[in-house]
Amino acid sequence: MKQLVRHTIMLLAVLLSGALWDGVWAQEEVQIEPEEAVVESEEAEVEAEKLDVVGLIFDHISDAYSWHIATYKGHHIEIPLLCIVRSQEGDWHLFSSSKVSHGHSHEGFYIAPEGEKWEGKLVARGVDGEVYRPLDLSLTKNAAGVLINSLLVVAVILGVAGWYRRRKYNIYEVPRGFVGAVEMLIMSIEDEVIRPAVGKEYKRYSPYLLTAFFFIFVNNLMGLVPTFPGGANTTGNIAVTLILALATMFTVNVFGNKEYWKEILWPKVPVWMKFPIPLMPIIELFGVISKPFALTIRLFANTMAGHMVILALTSLVFVSVSMGTTMNIVMTIFSVLLTVFMLVLEILVAYIQAYVFTMLSSVFVGLSRPEHHEAKREKTKHK
């Protein structure tokens, strides 16, 4: 287990080393114009100190080219990540995100400011003077979060497997603590979700379904951690949930048996519903497309909504400052209590969303492996 942890730390160091050559702490270069050096009135000062709640919420749930940790006296403490872009001329550029953060540009690339097209994304200006979006393969916050969380899942599962490997000759020793909790979780998902939904071939699909469950569960939990290495809104990113849904539908449609495709392409309905206009096959094929869409939106929307509610409740502390001391104290107590309640609820939701995704994926896999009616009759006769 110690060797596994050591290798995991080394892999993370290699992953982030390319992005850290300009230093871990990227600070904002504050430019002050002479005419803006002095605040003209108290009203302008109060206006400048107002908290942009909407901007704060969307800044948290959106992707970024650096991992922001805190802001101290106007300086941004953040971990820059690796930017990998391809220009219009076909040249590849690799550089730290600190070179393009907070309004800076590097080699013609910069992050589009608020209000412009491709806001928050790396852009460049072409030879014709037009702003364009280059091919962007950068290691963003969500991409780095997915890699870190995936390594965490691998470390947990291999650590638990190592416990059993070391005790393979002592079958009567019962796992306790963390290993026992993981075993209980695995057995409950396999015995209560995968086996009943998939059927007799459940062992063939258990590795993928259990991997999907633990990947979503760990990513949901890490998203609730406020700072590095947590805080990345991975399962609240529709691109991540779409890939998970497509992986499920690939498994369903590629490994589905001939009975499954027969029910889709030539279902047992009156002939006029299949020929000359293939009405029922079109409806069935539409169902094949709608299933991954349902998986994608369900996980994405629930995770993103939970993050937004927690951030909105936390912002009440700062929004109520201008309402007076008494109101601010009352709203602070209210905000803290509700935020703690929502965090506890989100831990439960993190499990429920992983459970629901695995359950629906298992049901879809089970539906792709229907048994032939003759085989069902034979089973009934034997009984």
DSSP string over 323-357: G-HHHHHHHHHHHHHHHHHHHHHHHHHHHHHHHHH
Q: Is residue 12 part of a domain?
A: no
DSSP 8-state code for residue 234: S
Lowest mean pLDDT among 149-158, 189-198, 374-383: 374-383
41 versus 132: the higher-pLDDT residue is 132
50 versus 111: the higher-pLDDT residue is 111
What distance separates the 2 farthest-apart alpha carbons in the chain?
A: 92
Q: Is residue 206 part of a domain?
A: yes
Q: Is residue 66 part of a domain?
A: no
Quick check: 255 pLDDT over 90? no
Residues 241-267 have a mean pLDDT of: 85
Q: Is residue 58 part of a domain?
A: no
Contact 54, 48 (CB under 8 A): no
Across the chain, mean pLDDT equals 78
Residues 301-322 have a mean pLDDT of: 80
Quick check: 45 pLDDT over 80? no
Quick check: 304 pLDDT over 60? yes
DSSP 8-state code for residue 372: P
**∠ at Cα 228 (222, 232), nearest 5°?**
50
Residue positions counted in the chain:
383
How far is 229 from 148, CA to CA, in rounded Å? 8
**DSSP characters over 31-94:** ---GGGSS---HHHHHHHH---HHHHHHHHHS--SEEEEEEETTEEEEEE-EEEEE-TTS-EEE
210 Rama sector, left if φ>0, alpha if ψ -120 to 50, beta otherwise? alpha
Quick check: 20 pLDDT over 90? no
How far is 345 from 280, CA to CA, in rounded Å? 42
Quick check: 8 pLDDT over 80? no
Could you tell me what percent of the chain has a pLDDT over 70? 80
Q: Which of 84, 102, 95, 93 is nearest to 143 (CA)?
A: 84
355 Rama sector, left if φ>0, alpha if ψ -120 to 50, beta otherwise? alpha
Q: Is residue 223 part of a domain?
A: yes
- Domain of 311 in residue numbering reads as 142-372
Q: Which strand ranges, in their side-by-side order, compose the sheet holding 135-136?
A: 92-96, 82-86, 135-136
| pLDDT bracket for residue 24 (50, 70, 90) | very low
| pLDDT bracket for residue 194 (50, 70, 90) | very high
Quick check: 27 pLDDT over 70? no
DSSP 8-state code for residue 97: G
Q: What's the token pair of residue 33?
A: 């114009």
Q: Is residue 5 part of a domain?
A: no
Q: What's the token pair of residue 234?
A: 């991975």
Per residue in 73-98, pLDDT (tens digit) is: 777 788 888 899 998 888 898 988 88
Could you tell me what percent of the chain has a pLDDT over 90? 16
Is residue 13 exposed (0-12), middle (13-18) or buried (19+ Cβ within 10 Å)?
exposed
User: In sequence order, which residues have a C-beta less than 8 Å from that of residue 368 and are 6 or more positions away?
Assistant: 252, 253, 255, 256, 257, 260
Q: Is residue 378 part of a domain?
A: no
Residues 294-315 have a mean pLDDT of: 84
Q: How high is the pLDDT of residue 1? A: 45
353 versus 37: the higher-pLDDT residue is 353
The total of other beta-carbon atoms located within 10 Å of residue 122's CB is: 22
Residues 121-147 have a mean pLDDT of: 87
Q: Which of 256, 253, 241, 250 is nearest to 293 (CA)?
A: 241
How far is 154 from 168, CA to CA, in rounded Å? 21
Quick check: 350 pLDDT over 80? yes
Q: Which residues pair with 83 in a beta bridge?
A: 95
Q: How high is the pLDDT of residue 152? A: 93
Residues 330-343 have a mean pLDDT of: 85
- Phi first, then psi, for residue 75 (nearest 5°) are -100, 135
**What is the total count of domains within the chain?**
1
Q: Which of 230, 255, 210 is nearest to 357 (CA)?
A: 210
Q: Is residue 136 part of a domain?
A: no
